[in-house]
Chain A
């Protein structure tokens, strides 16, 4: 039997129509069965009705990006197949074009579709989701509950999908069992609904699946199926977060709401405020007040937060940590799409010379480390920190075995005030520029601070000697951070050290680039490595230079217009990368798009290679 070990399943339909629930239940079933999962969702800035699609990549080994080779498509509406041609610039042209030959389209049998003239190298199976569910409910004597239990058509679709990709039905059914409460009560009904879908498709396929997913061993302990927002929020709780303020904005809202939902149980204070200016200033007040504090936003929110960010840095507040979930810019831009165009801005989010740290984790593991460690940095260096994330990692689930909290360093609150005579909050004495900080309420620790230039006591002064000393003190902390932050947190090189081609990127491009290294080796005979730049400020000049000076051909891979990291590397190291493969259409690189971009870059005489989402 020919097994297939890398399958992409897609479900498309109107927003609010249950595709998230269906995809997440299907993903959970697969991950519990032992498969590794990577998912992604595309959706509109719309509450209900616009087209949304969810992709789930399933395999026996972990992938870190999506592929556009779709094996099974579940279409809940006609638009999923046809595209939304009612718009002059449709957001998609239907998903048949992404299907592999022999792929299976499972559509709602209640839809009257004219499939003549459509691709004939794929199978179309109309599954009467409602009728099959009704049959199950009637058999169980619960036919009257059809309307309230209609969400279980997701289980019919899941069973149908299992048949199409050759998954053992029992693995899918097992995922419903072992829960509690309502979930447990409905487990056998869901399992029966799944069987109806499975049997229907199996019969349509003549008793044999088109594909046969390679069997895997069910793990003793199921892996986590986790999104960036969850990893980030849990790591923040682990770091001792005491205060979070926010203004709702895509794609940062989910992290805020996750924290808010858990605030009571976790002794956390979360405040939804009136705008991002209030959010940052409240977070700065909370940081000065003594709690670990953060705020989460997106690019437009950061635009409003600049003033407060400078305030935090100028007054050497121990934070806040600002979690920047990027989307497509500029201005309101593409609110629900992914882009990496906020890097240059995050490096200078405000006027004047001031110190702050910027880190850009690339995957779930990095997110856990950086979301946690950023609070240690804020406390230790008494400056705000930006952790850069994006919509892709915000919304995409993937399997990971565990969150490795045991590998994290201990909580470090930095230098704290001890009562000892006359206290100067901004004492110039410490050679490293870090003055012990008092927490309001401490006797003998009274201090003043101001966004005006100030002296050691925190009172306003416009004296020029003081200005030079305290500027050197504040800015000098960046050099200290650069010396102390370990190299492993600054950069990572994936692949052979002596590669012919070095890809350079940051953020979620990490996963996309890692996945194509073995493909380029196998299919193109190229020895390629990937340099992930993670710490953006203070910039790891030595580490990046050392690798790039040895590199033969260098290709920047970024999801923005011109390659902001490329510009940063040139500014910081004087090194100009040979090629820039860029994408700025609001959709992250798929595996195929990135491969195309790299191959084009190697053939083309152009320096800048823009890649766009597949269009006719």
Chain B
């Protein structure tokens, strides 16, 4: 068997890119392409599903099956895609407004399900394409330049929400560090189950509060951002049958997500990981051919006569 290797350019298209100069989306796109090359999955075996907004345009710039869907609905579309075509590597992408605002119901329930796909949220705290309104991650009391007034509504903590929703891989990346973020994405895509990464991203046009300078400055002598893998933090649940360990690792991850109180200190990397049966594993139980009944189901020559005859 010839193992084909891929490079970043195999995942590129020549479609005219309409993102603003300096947009954090470029870093995430590159990180995703690097991750795919590292995993070595063929472009035609990848489906990228996006919502609406600047991030929603990402599939057009990726050489893979691309589905640019509706605002907030990327997660259910990706779920349907994966369950319909389980041999695809499915990656949902979308913005913070898309995932945590209009798509919040799907965000929570995807965690409960654990279908094997990856969800990347491009988190810049603003609705860019509609000219800079605050998103659900904009902290209460802050006012970015496109906002009419300071945020009155509280912000959510996406990582804590993901942990409590049941995601089996939860991480945080940074758009302006594509190389390390690519490593994190590769881990997430390789994870069996629903993996989620909140990727902090700058919006040079509308987010004048949290800029490249803000994220890289020192806080009380330490860099604002640091990678968990460079610490002794252990994100992995080792004994998945041990309910106490599961809870302990979840609480540890949530504490990490609130580190620094107001988020002054921002840990990057994998916060939580547990390997448990996926949705596909669970529904394959009791099928005539196990997982093959999901992968190559018998659909075209079904015998329904027992169903019909039972009605006589």
Binding site for B on A (CB under 8 A): 32, 221-226, 230, 234, 237-238, 240-243, 245, 262-269, 271, 273-275, 277-279, 281-293, 307-308, 311, 315, 402-403, 405, 411, 439-452, 458-460
Contacts and interface: CB of A to CB of B under 8 A. Distances in A.
Contacts of B304: 234, 237-238, 266, 405
11 contacts: A234-B307, A242-B297, A267-B294, A267-B299, A286-B80, A288-B77, A289-B83, A292-B299, A440-B44, A450-B67, A459-B15
Nearest to B287: A264
Interface in B35-77: 42-45, 47, 49, 52, 57, 59-60, 63-70, 73, 76-77
A292 B47 CA distance: 18
A422 to B, nearest CB: 13
Contacts of A238: 302, 304
Interface in B68-93: 68-70, 73, 76-85, 87-88
A415 to B, nearest CB: 18
Contacts of B294: 267, 269
Contacts of B63: 446
Contacts of B302: 237-238, 240, 266-267
A509 to B, nearest CB: 25
Contacts of A265: 287-288
Contacts of B44: 440-446
The 6 A-B residue pairs with the shortest CB-CB distance, nearest first, are: A285-B80, A289-B84, A267-B297, A450-B68, A286-B84, A282-B80
B299 A441 contact: no
Contacts of B47: 289, 440
Q: How large is the interface on B (under 10, 10 to 19, 20 to 34, 35 or more residues)?
A: 35 or more
Contacts of A32: 312
Contacts of A450: 59-60, 67-69
A311 B69 contact: yes
Contact of A288 (B59, B67, B83, B109): B67
**Most chain A beta carbons < 10 A, residue from B49, B293, B307, B311:** B311
Nearest to B15: A459
Nearest to A282: B80
B286 interface: yes
Given A234-B308, A284-B80, A285-B69, 6 more contacts: A264-B287, A265-B287, A273-B109, A285-B49, A411-B300, A443-B44
A382 B180 CA distance: 42
A120 to B, nearest CB: 42
Contact of A289 (B88, B289, B297): B88
A281 B106 CA distance: 11
**Most chain B beta carbons < 10 A, residue from A238, A277, A285, A447:** A285
B223 interface: no
Given A221-B312, A224-B312, A268-B297, A277 B81 contact: no
Nearest to A240: B299
Contacts of A221: 312
Contacts, number: 193
Nearest to A242: B299
B312 A285 contact: no
B311 A224 contact: yes
B33 to A, nearest CB: 14
B150 interface: no
Contacts of B84: 242-243, 269, 285-291, 293
A441 B41 CA distance: 11
B148 to A, nearest CB: 27
A256 B45 CA distance: 31
Nearest to B67: A449
A448 B85 contact: no
Nearest to A271: B83
B196 to A, nearest CB: 16
Contacts of A288: 67, 77, 80-81, 84
A284 B84 CA distance: 10
Nearest to B77: A285
A322 B299 CA distance: 19
A5 B124 CA distance: 75
A265 B298 CA distance: 10
Contact of A223 (B81, B287, B312): B312
A293 B293 contact: no
A245 B80 contact: yes
A536 B283 CA distance: 37
Given A440-B47, A448-B59, A450-B68, A289 B299 contact: no
B73 A449 contact: no
Contact of A273 (B76, B87, B307, B311): B76
A222 B312 CA distance: 6
A443 B42 contact: yes
Given A241-B299, A289-B84, A450-B60, A440 B65 contact: yes
A448 B66 contact: yes
B105 interface: yes
Contacts of A292: 299
Given A290-B84, A290-B85, A281 B69 contact: yes
A285 B78 contact: yes
